Structure 1
């Protein structure tokens, strides 16, 4: 089989890249070991986070760092045995999170996330996936007045700087809106511009079906078998002039085999589904900020999603965050029994400067990178797909791709 482009990885980023290339007339083969949307893209929190202009930085407050070092929080957990391996990456992550460097990251990040909702919208329409998407935003909830007031002030700044709408809710207004909230929260922040996805894996599958309607092909295969040829790239019986690596947390496996040493890290995350309360089902996506977990009313049940776990990607599951979150959530929300036999575990790919890697491979012709989106893979998939497709086809990029280039890491 001969194609113009091989796209390796059928998560939200890879599928979006494939769609945008197919829309521009390229013959594209999409390759993954699993069906589209069945790995990391299946298990996320289902948020298209237009408001997420501030990527998650490494804490700079030593009191917070010491608290995390106790390894007893819900929003962060680590495997002590993995720390010697993880320490160099975490040190770079901390360094890039220092205020002056972080400000530069935010400026660059905003140029991409600005297009998150607007780039999803045409794909949702073309894929006939509107039934999977809500447009009512989501809520951050606060138990303490101090946490509430700090978040309200930050939201005012975000709205003034980036034009992202929000509304403040008192504890009483929150309970009126969501009777299934049983705790006495001090207030809530309603982010009004983001969209929600009630079945993230289903959305990716819908985009993939649209890709096939455009003439694209999906095949099952092992991306690590990619080989350079005299006139392009080959994987098994499929060859093409160009290839795009969009393998999420597995991108490092292939890039290392090709001779790159990119500083890629992993944040693992868990979720568990619960039966909604029959009388008071939760209707909004709600982040318990101090509790460190998110409640999302999805098609398959009420999804409780955890924060970050720092561990080796393929280490055995340690779902202590789910246990901690469930204990807290049952004192604050009305919901029923577990629906899953065990918690789902996935891995998020990230870079130490919190920016994804998007653009040409520094040392290989006709090879492109599209990975490292951390918590915002679902959010930034279509925006990344458009940017890669424009570069591959020689169009003028709709934003400056330079901040996302792999060359920023030097001789990687």
Structure 2
């Protein structure tokens, strides 16, 4: 089989990238050994996060470092056996999280964040998936006046970026979410983000659109990628070998299975996360996605129920799932909102691909013609998938990119 482009990875980044390349008139094959959209893309908090101007930084204050080092918090957890392996990454992450480094990461990612919703919207419309979106934003909740005041001051610094933000006292939160507990002192309503009530269904809708436009999904192993003579690439699938001039690696936390054999040593690690769905107790209703800032988890109203998503677990990507974070956060969530029984038989787990400078890798591979990278989106795979696809499509087809792609180049490390 001959195609113009092969996209390796059928998560939300791969799907959106395949669609954006398709829009440029190129024939595309999408290859993955798993069901499209059932990996990390399936289990997020369902937010196209237009308000995350600043990426998630490594803690810098000594009291925070001491707290996380004890390994008892609900929002972060690490496997002791993994620390020697990830220590170099963690040190680089800590160093990049300095005030200057954090500002540089923000400036690099800002052009992507600013267009994250706008690039999804035409895909959602074409895929007839508008019913999956809720334009309600999300609430960041606080249990102390001190933390609320600090967060409001930080949010006011986002004014130059054109965000719509409301500051709420306890009565304001109660008006929006009458079934939350009495312990909430106030909150911040970020109104620009768009919520997805079923991220897996959105991935499936994108896949159906891709196929309706002539694209083909093929089951295959990305590790079979090989250079094809004088130019181009081949990858073996269950339907046969596919040949293409260009190949895009969009395998998220598994991207290293392709780039490492080709000689690239990129400093990527994973933050694992979990989710569980619950039935609301009685007639309780959760109208907005809420983030408990004191305990580092999210409750999101989803098609399947109320989804509890956890913070970061630092562990080997392929280590067995751990029940620790769900066990730690569920009691807090039940005190915040009246949850009834679990809907899922076991917690779902996914791995977020992270770079130490908090900026994704998007663009051509430095040493291989026709090889392109699109991974390392950390907490923002859903958020940045469509805009990543646009940037890759423009570079791959020789157009002038909508933004300077140099901050995302693979050789910056």
Q: Counterpart of 2:245 in 1: which secondary structure? A: strand
Q: Deviations over 1:114-163 (max 9, x none)?
A: 101111111110110000001111100001111111111111111x2211
> Retained in 2: the 8 A contact 1:281–1:335?
no
Q: Counterpart of 2:257 in 1: which secondary structure? A: helix
Distance 1:183 1:272 in 2: 24
Cross-structure match for 1:9: 9
Listed as ranges, the matches of 1:6-405 within 5 Å are 6-158=6-158, 160-230=159-229, 231-236=231-236, 237-405=241-409
Distance 2:257 2:105 in 1: 26
Runs ≥4 residues deviating over 2 A? none
Q: Deviations over 1:151-181 (max 9, x none)?
A: 11111111x2211110011112211221220
How well do the aligned residues superpose, as a CA RMSD in angstroms?
Answer: 0.8
Q: CA deviation at 1:62?
A: 1.1
> Retained in 2: the 8 A contact 1:183–1:331?
no
> Retained in 2: the 8 A contact 1:12–1:377?
yes
Distance 2:205 2:248 in 1: 21
Q: Deviations over 1:171-211 (max 9, x none)?
A: 12211221220232110100010000000011111111111
Unaligned runs of at least 5 residues, structure 2: none
Distance 1:290 1:407 in 2: 37
Distance 1:252 1:278 in 2: 46
Q: Counterpart of 2:329 in 1: which secondary structure? A: helix
Q: Counterpart of 2:41 in 1: which secondary structure? A: helix
Q: Counterpart of 1:294 in 2: which secondary structure? A: strand
Unaligned runs of at least 5 residues, structure 1: none
Distance 2:249 2:408 in 1: 15
Distance 2:43 2:182 in 1: 27
Aligned residues: 408
Distance 1:266 1:60 in 2: 20
Q: Deviations over 1:339-374 (max 9, x none)?
A: 111110100001000000000000000000000000
> Retained in 2: the 8 A contact 1:13–1:377?
yes
> Retained in 2: the 8 A contact 1:23–1:214?
no
Bigger mean CA deviation after superposition, 327-336 or 378-387:
327-336
TM-score, structure 2 normalization: 0.98
Distance 1:223 1:308 in 2: 27
> Retained in 2: the 8 A contact 1:143–1:185?
yes
Q: Counterpart of 2:10 in 1: which secondary structure? A: coil
Distance 1:199 1:278 in 2: 23
Q: CA deviation at 1:217?
A: 0.6
Distance 1:253 1:223 in 2: 8
Distance 1:210 1:28 in 2: 13
Q: CA deviation at 1:108?
A: 1.1
> Retained in 2: the 8 A contact 1:183–1:333?
no
TM-score, structure 1 normalization: 0.98
2:412 to 405, 408, 411: 408
Q: Deviations over 1:257-311 (max 9, x none)?
A: 1110000110000000101233121111000010211000100111000000000
Distance 2:250 2:220 in 1: 14
Distance 1:347 1:259 in 2: 23
